[in-house]
Amino acid sequence: MALWHKLRASALRSDQETICGSETLSVAADSPISTQIRMQALVNFFQEWQAIATVIGLTLLLVWESFRPFFAFSRDRSSRGIHIIRNLLLGAVNSLVVTLAFVALWILTAEWAANSGFGLMNWLASDRAVIHGVGAILLLDAWTYTWHRMNHRFAFLWRFHRVHHADKQMDVSTAGRFHVGEIILSSLFRIPVIALFGVYAWELVLYETIMFTVVQFHHANISVPAWLDRALRTVIVTPYMHKVHHSRVRVETDSNYSSLLSVWDRLGRSFRIRSDPDAIEFGLDDPALDGERLADLMKMPLLPDHPKQGPDGV
Ligand SMILES: [Zn+2]
Ligand SMILES: [Zn+2]
């Protein structure tokens, strides 16, 4: 984020010099500079909360998994520890790549759209903050659903995405287990999406924070009462829903693509639930993709395509 702060500081300095022609200035409360400063303060606020929410969510869910797991962990504690560390390491590298290479681009794109009045939400609700915020979050979540579905539909994208699905012992750490190639591709696609939707930078950070908290929750290997899962999945994606998505049976893998709101799977006719979630087997039905070392996961996109059909022909 240091790069971003430098960019913002220099942009503000040049604006101030252009307008005032001197070192000292007073900024009118409704001036474009004041609006930019307020926007930047919101982005900083939500970015701090994003980091805090990720750590708190991870910690609470790790404790919950330890005391009330849905599937019993293996007696060998070191295998659980290695699995968690490996997945968290992948997640940490991915967030470093995103922070260094993409966050500043996303924010500059959002600012360009806001300043030039470009993008769907800026056309529809530029002077109505609540409608703008809710609309932006709905559009971003609809895009996340569409992008995820594309990852299952197109063979090239699936080569990267299957690193996430190859995990045979899903837990909260699986929430960050993605190939860096998938992260780079989704981050690149997000640039035009931000512009087309006219999303503000703080709306993007707020969406990411809420969405990733729910993603941690539905990957966690936690016992949730069936009635509670049923009630929650009328709105958000729950552990029972996402377990089906991680099933080895391909027709189940190709369902439940939503990340935050479950409504997209209902609208897209991809919603699927099982009455026996404890019988679901995680992973991919291809022994060539069983390797769990970091090197195996990094090389996975180079391996041949996973067969489209499961062993039971569905
Ligand atoms: Zn998937
Ligand atoms: Zn998942």
| pLDDT digits 0-9 by tens, 153-166 | 999 999 999 999 99
Percent of the chain residues topping a pLDDT of 90? 74
The tally of domains found in the chain comes to 1
Mean pLDDT of 11-20: 42
237-253 pLDDT tens trace: 999 999 999 999 999 99
Q: List the one residue out of 198, 182, 199, 185 whose CA is nearest residue 301.
A: 182
Mean pLDDT of 80-98: 95
Q: What pLDDT does residue 175 have?
A: 98
**Pairwise pLDDT comparison (252 vs 49), residue with the higher score:** 252
Q: For residue 21, tell me if it sits in a domain.
A: no
Q: How far is the CA of 176 from the centre of ligand 2 (A)?
A: 9
Residue type, 205: V
Q: How far is the CA of 178 from the centre of ligand 2 (A)?
A: 9
Mean pLDDT of 265-276: 97
**Pairwise pLDDT comparison (276 vs 32), residue with the higher score:** 276
Asked whether the predicted pLDDT for residue 83 surpasses 50, the reply is: yes
Q: For residue 253, tell me if it sits in a domain.
A: yes
Q: How far is the CA of 133 from the centre of ligand 2 (A)?
A: 26
The single-letter DSSP state of residue 236 is B
Asked whether the predicted pLDDT for residue 14 surpasses 70, the reply is: no
Q: For residue 109, tell me if it sits in a domain.
A: yes
Model confidence at 75, pLDDT cuts 50, 70, 90, reads confident
The whole-angstrom separation of Cα 309 and Cα 314 is 6
Shortest-distance ligand to the CA of residue 252: 1
54-70 pLDDT tens trace: 999 999 999 999 999 99
Q: How far is the CA of 243 from the centre of ligand 2 (A)?
A: 8
Mean pLDDT of 213-230: 97
Name residue 302's beta-bridge partners. Answer: none
Q: For residue 19, tell me if it sits in a domain.
A: no
Around Cβ 103, how many Cβ atoms within 10 Å?
Answer: 21
Q: How far is the CA of 242 from the centre of ligand 2 (A)?
A: 6
Q: What pLDDT does residue 28 have?
A: 60
The whole-angstrom separation of Cα 132 and Cα 147 is 22
Model confidence at 307, pLDDT cuts 50, 70, 90, reads low
Q: What pLDDT does residue 58 have?
A: 97
Name residue 222's beta-bridge partners. Answer: 69
Mean pLDDT of 155-183: 96
How many angstroms from the chain centroid is the CA of residue 221?
19
Model confidence at 29, pLDDT cuts 50, 70, 90, reads low
The whole-angstrom separation of Cα 190 and Cα 280 is 33
- Give the CA count within 13 Å in the CB-facing half-sphere of 202: 19
Average of per-residue pLDDT values in the chain: 88
Q: What pLDDT does residue 313 have?
A: 37
Q: Are 241 and 218 in contact (CB under 8 A)?
A: yes
Q: What pLDDT does residue 27 have?
A: 53
In this structure, the dihedral spanned by the alpha carbons of residues 219, 147, 163 and 211, taken in order and rounded to 10 degrees, is -30
Q: For residue 62, tell me if it sits in a domain.
A: yes
Query: What range does the domain containing 87 cover?
Result: 50-302
Q: How far is the CA of 85 from the centre of ligand 2 (A)?
A: 17
Q: What pLDDT does residue 154 have?
A: 96
Model confidence at 223, pLDDT cuts 50, 70, 90, reads very high
Asked whether the predicted pLDDT for residue 92 surpasses 80, the reply is: yes
Q: For residue 84, tell me if it sits in a domain.
A: yes
105-119 pLDDT tens trace: 999 999 999 999 999
Name residue 236's beta-bridge partners. Answer: 261
- Alpha helices, DSSP H, located in 102-198: 103-116, 120-125, 129-153, 155-165, 180-197
Q: How far is the CA of 150 from the centre of ligand 1 (A)?
A: 9
Q: What pLDDT does residue 36 have?
A: 74
Asked whether the predicted pLDDT for residue 21 surpasses 70, the reply is: no
Q: For residue 236, tell me if it sits in a domain.
A: yes
Q: For residue 139, tell me if it sits in a domain.
A: yes
In this structure, the dihedral spanned by the alpha carbons of residues 155, 294, 257 and 246, taken in order and rounded to 10 degrees, is 100
Q: How far is the CA of 280 from the centre of ligand 2 (A)?
A: 14
